[in-house]
Structure 1
Amino acid sequence: MIYTTTETIAGAEIDIVLGVVTGNVVQSKHVGRDIMANLKGIVGGELKGYTEMLTEARSKAVERLLDEARQLGANAVVGVRFTTSAITDGASEVMAYGTAVRLK
């Protein structure tokens, strides 16, 4: 399935708009990652454990978004956006949302 951050897909025409679709995941921190993050905080640098965690969470959110779009009969999702928010201390949500469409 095609998904894009743009509102249109070059060379394709939207036949029908099926509605807004979302996919989200709430990911918690791992104690090992917290320890390494605290150590990195002293010397500076990328927190690779957290980068990996958020990359995985974003991938899961996109999978869920696409699953919801398929259930509506879509063959593409346009206008995809991502948001993040803190749910509790030590847990964050990653949400992907967009518009499910059927292309001609």
Structure 2
Amino acid sequence: MLISNIEIVPGKKIVKHLGMVQGNTVRAKHAGKDILAGLKNIVGGELKAYTELLTEAREEATQRMVQQAEAIGANAIINVRFSTSSVAAGAAELFVYGTAVVLE
């Protein structure tokens, strides 16, 4: 499955437009890691627990989008976008969407 954040794929022709596909997930870290992240917030620096949370969420949401695209016969997803929102303290939703197409 080809995944691209641009509207066209150079050298390829879109022969069928199958519509929007999407995937999402809501993830949370356990309280212990949330407390450690809070302490790190005081001294500054990367909050690695949250970086891991969003990386895992992005991979899972993308996998769900790809499964949806495969189910409708797509071989590519173009114009892919990601969105992240806070759902609760320590929990975030990651949403990914794009246009499923058949490329020639």
Residue 100 of structure 1: SS of its match in structure 2?
A: strand
Aligned residues between the structures: 104
User: Which residue in 2 is equivalent to 1:64?
Assistant: 64
Residue number in structure 1 paired with 2:89? 89
In structure 1, the residue matched to 2:37 is 37
Runs (5+) with no aligned partner, structure 2: none
What TM-score, normalized by structure 2, do the two folds share? 0.95
Q: Identity of aligned pairs, percent? A: 52
Where does structure 1 lack aligned partners over 5 or more consecutive residues? none
Could you state the TM-score of these two structures normalised by the residue count of structure 1?
0.95
Q: Distance in 1 between matches of 2:13 and 2:43?
A: 52
What RMSD in Å do the two structures reach over aligned CA positions? 1.0
Shift of 1:37: 0.7
The residue that corresponds to 1:80 in the other structure is: 80
Q: Distance in 2 between matches of 1:21 and 1:61?
A: 11
